[in-house]
Structure 1
Amino acid sequence: MKLYPIEAGNFKLDGGAMFGVVPKSLWSRTNPADSNNMIDIAARCLLIENGDRLTLIDTGMGNKQSDKFFGYYFQWGDFNIDDSLKKHGFHRDDITDVFMTHLHFDHCGGSVQWNKDRTGYEPAFKNATYWSNERHWEWATKPNRREQASFLKENILPMQESGQLRFVGDAHSFLSSEKNNGDANFSEAKEMDFSIFFANGHTEKQMIPQINYKGKTVAFMADLLPTAGHLPLPFVMGYDTRPLLTMPEKEIFLNKAADNNYYLFLEHDAHNQIITVKHTEKGVRLNESFTFSELFN
């Protein structure tokens, strides 16, 4: 098995929204803002090559939305999925599985594209099975008003309409030897050394994958830990639907990460690709920061 970081494109978000009630004087120490209060955000995906399966975790925003839409997110840099796949010798048609941590537009927008004559939408990975979970799919396709702007029908419904959608835990489970390991938040599969932590604070049944790779546990943190600056438990995004639930979920996961020396792959941190954490008197805090190549190349 091999892992590859896939950069889907950088953008900016309001720092206050990213840190909720935490004062700017605190969060700006780790995530400095520009004159418009915007901070740097990445859309860093992860590609897993495992035998004849090529699994992409999350897909970024994509490029099908309007200029007005993208104008809200101040895209910067020159990263995109196609160039990043090509860098590692792959094409989007090689992808066999797209695993979506959740269906907010900045995580799944790249999963769907315009069709050839721009009259409708189609899966952007024509040979891939798309993986969500049934509870989150229901949540996303019947959205509450708080999240409605993040769950865009054009990003979601074409996966199902194409017949390429499957749910983790159904008869075609991505976790082909799925079992529960005694913790209600976790399920795992021995065959691929792949497990999932289900988190409900940010959105219903967000999936946090963990992969055993070269003797290390690599956890794809999605929006459970957007950046290294979010390590303190009260540093919770304003986007979270249940912030009081995010905190204990973070605590459970970060304690386990510190106890077992997990390598935390940060999807949204534009400046830290992978970090480890440690126990301190103030709680779990940053230990070391690495680039992917420093660890695995």
Structure 2
Amino acid sequence: MIECGPYTLHQLETGTFKLDGGAMFGIVPKPLWDERIPADDQNRIELAMRCLLIQGNDRCILVDTGIGDTFSEKEQSIFGIDHSVHTLADSLNAAGVVPSEVTDVVFTHLHFDHSGGAVVRHNDEVVPRFPEATHHVQARHWEAARAPNPKEKNSFRTAILDPLADQVAWTFHEGAGTLMPGIDLRCVDGHTTAQQLVKVSGPEATYVFVADLLPTHHHAGAAWTMAYDIAPLQTIDEKARFLRDAEAHGWTLLFEHDPIVVQGHAHASDRGWRIVPAGSS
């Protein structure tokens, strides 16, 4: 639990899943990334699915929703989805929140591992999990998700997005700006069109939920970009600008997918950018 101005922040664990290590680290040779996050016999690495719960100012805001529980057994096997220890429902319950109390769901983007938990299976039908909440996404990203390019087509799931499209309230944001007092959005386009990062500022500190700009702390290095990125050279530029700002202002970075590092700080070195885990020196 983090206190930040009028808000209380919880980093919610919602389970783990697995993706191909080569895809996660792009051109970085396997011996380099495998010693940091070892691959299984299918070349997959285990990744967290962490969400951010923000409570305060009469709002209960959930940033991203994990992968959810509507995937088939075959898909669960392909992606190594593991909810044996953590689920979104259990983590919300542990924070004292029931779905009807969530006022806002903010998607950094709508890839299935970030949006799948926003729906739930009920009587053989997939329905919104947070029907009373306003759902937030960038307008440009919504358009891209509903008419995806060939590279991202399998990352946007109609089985997730169709139930949300007409059954919940939406706010479509137009670029960077303020979501709520003390909560701001920053847009980046290298991973996917108009991904939005969420920054929470208070007198004590500033926290940024970095989503897939930095899926793990290992991705701080310039060349450590994902093959999933639609514009990897743009990702490199966006990471550099973001990390300069993060170091200059002392932001604490909150990681969504890092299996070990939950929070960290950006530091420039003679070998490039690195992330120092919170509590380390």
What range is the shorter-chain TM-score in? Answer: over 0.9
Q: Is residue 164 of structure 1 aligned with residue 169 of structure 2?
A: yes
Question: 1:145-176 deviations in whole A, cap 9, x for unaligned?
Answer: 1111010112112222114222124xxxxxxx
What percentage of aligned pairs have identical amino acids?
37
1:178 alignment partner in structure 2? none
The unaligned stretches of length 5 or more in structure 1 are: 170-184, 292-297
**Alpha-carbon deviation of 1:21?**
1.0
2:206 is aligned to 217
Q: Secondary structure at the match of 1:251?
A: helix
2:134 counterpart of 1:129: yes
Q: Is the 2:131–2:167 contact (alpha carbons within 8 Å) kept by the matching residues of 1?
A: no
Match of 1:57, as an amino acid? V
Given the two structures, how large is their TM-score scaled by the length of structure 1? 0.88
Residue identity matched to 1:187: G
Deviating more after overlay: 264-273 vs 22-31: 22-31
Query: Which residue pairs with 2:71 in the alignment?
Result: 65
Rounded Cα–Cα distance in structure 1 between residues aligned with 2:250 and 2:17: 30
Give per-residue Cα distances to partners, 1:52-80, cap 9 Å, x unaligned.
21000000111012111111111234110
Q: Which residue of 1 aligns with 2:178?
A: 188
Q: Which residue of 2 aligns with 1:104?
A: 111
What RMSD in Å do the two structures reach over aligned CA positions? 1.6
For the pair 1:35 / 2:41, whether they are aligned, the reply is yes
Tell me which of 262, 265, 271 is aligned to 2:251: 262
Q: Indicate the structure with greater strand content.
A: 2
Q: Distance in 2 between matches of 1:93 and 1:238?
A: 37
Alignment partner of 1:143 is 2:148 = yes
CA drift of 1:290 comes to 4.8
2:46 counterpart SS class: strand
> Could you tell me which amino acid in structure 2 is paired with residue 99 of structure 1?
V
Per the alignment, residue 51 of structure 1 pairs with: 57
Q: TM-score, normalised by structure 2?
A: 0.92
* Residue equivalent to 2:100: 93
Kept after mapping to 2: 8 A contact 1:31/1:229: no
Helix, strand or coil: the match of 1:102? coil
**2-structure distance, mates of 1:283, 1:216:** 25
CA contact (8 A) 1:96 1:129 kept: yes
CA contact (8 A) 2:135 2:168 kept: no
Segments of structure 2 that go 5 or more residues without pairing to the other structure are 1-6
* Residue aligned with 1:222, SS: coil
